[in-house]
Structure 1
């Protein structure tokens, strides 16, 4: 009877946790359209549809005990740090854009901090300089300044989240402190039976993700600049486009960095487990 009662509470906690995550995803997606004054009705409907789809995907992903699409689902705080980084970035960028038409003390403070960070990071060949140069020729100076402020703030948040994850990994001994690490659940897109040594493949994927994370801040501005010939000019007059573009530009590289570090950590765990197993086997087979 007690085991059944405990099992019901576990299911309830799983459903409640999935529902809270779905609500947070909805809040993230609709935040700019709710806080910004210039949003069309059609745009709001599209955003609401996307939010509902993302909420359903998140809910069914976390309410299920089987693997889906989300990596490191049962290895906190990996996804919590990534989501928190994106949420804070979208929130602060929305506050900055809202402060242009409706300035407040908070918006002025956030804009000042972003402007300082953007000015410090705006040196030749830096990611901030490149994303500013991705703006089309003839962009007004105030819009260039807005892009520099948004880029500086987003890039700072991404760097802080990356540092926080690295500290959590080292200090908290991630993910060992959470018990057994289930590769099938936490790495659903990684097939251990695909061939080759698992540790070598994880190490290779980790290095690829780290390299991509390093290159993306430089590649994305070039892609944006080249895409203007196909999709038209990239402008910052549309605040929602600015917010999501700059947030993705800063979030994706840090996310790949974190994924690479995490996969390297898993490879080290498997390698250490193998060495301990081989050592125990050698001890057992030694003559008495």
Structure 2
């Protein structure tokens, strides 16, 4: 109980730190922005604490199958921190901020090729956007997308070489997939594979769909609002993190489906072996 309480408190504090990072690092934060950040931080911390301190999960998936959520949080925090450091370097440049900006420029150049998600993000900006903002958007998009690719690769390596999630012991579908009802019609393996496929397709397409949608809806959505550093950080992070999270979820659900199939095969083989053994003695 003490361990669960401590873990819930630590996770809540980490979520607060994540939400507050841009406000802490960026200079000249407006008072209204600070109040909104505090409110969002408290709400997110309360939800995280309740979720991880409860025996009955509600929304957080793979709660008891680390490091799924740890990899996602690490990717989200890394993206927000790096983009916040680059933004803060605009006013107070340091060696670290200049290094991040240099790396971001190199990464964005590599990822900014025809029909790439980064290129589409740049193209969604109005034609009269100044060059400095275009460069900031390109760097933010390239870095956040690169971090999402790294997080996805890290999870695949963990799944491949660590045997996730079997290394954590028994896998409880109810606590790790609280929004998935295994009893609501149809074979659970088919439903898991179908949901996994949907997540994989959506995760792959979203980085392309979102910029195209913004471009088409430019009369109602103004991309120039990305001049605000807070907006730029969170929009680019969300644009890259959400697809990567869906891809990880699809891979994870496919893995769970495969585990169930393997368990059924072992159970069938054991039952078949018992029947054969009994027939021999008869």
List alignment gaps of at least 5 residues for structure 1.
Answer: 1-10
Give CA deviations for 1:62-107 in whole Å, capped at 9, x if unaligned: 0001121100000000000000000000000000111111111101
Q: Which runs of 5+ in 2 are unaligned?
A: none
Partner of residue 237 from structure 1, selected from 217, 227, 230: 227
Q: In the alignment, is residue 83 of structure 1 matched against residue 73 of structure 2?
A: yes
1:103 and 2:103 equivalent?
A: no
Q: Distance in 2 between matches of 1:134 and 1:174?
A: 38
- Number of the residue aligned with 1:24: 14
Determine if the alignment matches structure 1 residue 183 to structure 2 residue 204.
no
TM-score calculated relative to the size of structure 2: 0.97
Aligned counterpart, 2:271: 281
| CA distance, structure 1, for counterparts of residue 224 and residue 64 of structure 2 | 39
Structure 1 residue 121: deviation in Å?
Answer: 1.0
Following TM superposition, where does structure 1 have runs of at least 4 consecutive aligned residues deviating by more than 6 angstroms?
none
The question of whether the paired residues in 2 share the 8 Å contact of 1:143 and 1:237 is answered with yes
Q: Which secondary structure state, in structure 2, belongs to the residue aligned with residue 230 of structure 1?
A: coil
| Alpha-carbon distance in structure 2 between the residues aligned to 1:231 and 1:115 | 27
> What is the DSSP-based 3-state SS (H/G/I as helix, E as strand, rest coil) of the residue aligned with 2:89?
helix
1:218 aligns with 208
- Indicate the residue corresponding to 1:112 in structure 2: 102
Alignment root-mean-square deviation, CA: 1.0
The answer on whether the counterparts of 2:129 and 2:224 sit within 8 Å (CA) in structure 1 is no
Residue matched to 2:113: 123
Contact 1:131–1:221, Cα closer than 8 Å, also in 2: yes
Q: Distance in 1 between matches of 2:223 and 2:72?
A: 30
3-state SS of paired residue (2:62): coil
Compute the displacement of 1:248 (Å): 0.5
State the aligned residue count. Answer: 278
2:16 is equivalent to residue 64 of structure 1: no
1:163 paired to 2:153: yes
**Aligned-partner Cα distance in 2 for 1:241–1:194:** 41
C-alpha distance in 2 between matches for 1:71 and 1:272: 22
- Secondary structure of the structure 2 residue equivalent to 1:100: coil
State whether residues 124 and 223 of structure 2, in contact with CA within 8 Å, keep that contact through their aligned partners in structure 1. no
For 2:193 and 2:26, locate their aligned partners in 1 and report how far apart those are by CA, in whole Å: 43
Closer/same/farther in 2, CA of residues 47 and 228 from structure 1, 3 Å limit? farther
Task: State how far apart, in whole Å, the 1-side matches of 2:185 and 2:219 are.
Answer: 43
Which residue of structure 2 aligns with residue 194 of structure 1? 184
- Give 1:233 shift: 4.3
CA deviation digits over 1:198-257, x for unaligned, max 9?
Answer: 000000111110101100010111222234322444333200000000001110111011
Whole-angstrom distance in 1 between the partners of 2:58 and 2:233: 29
Give distance in 2, aligned partners of 1:164 and 1:233. Answer: 32
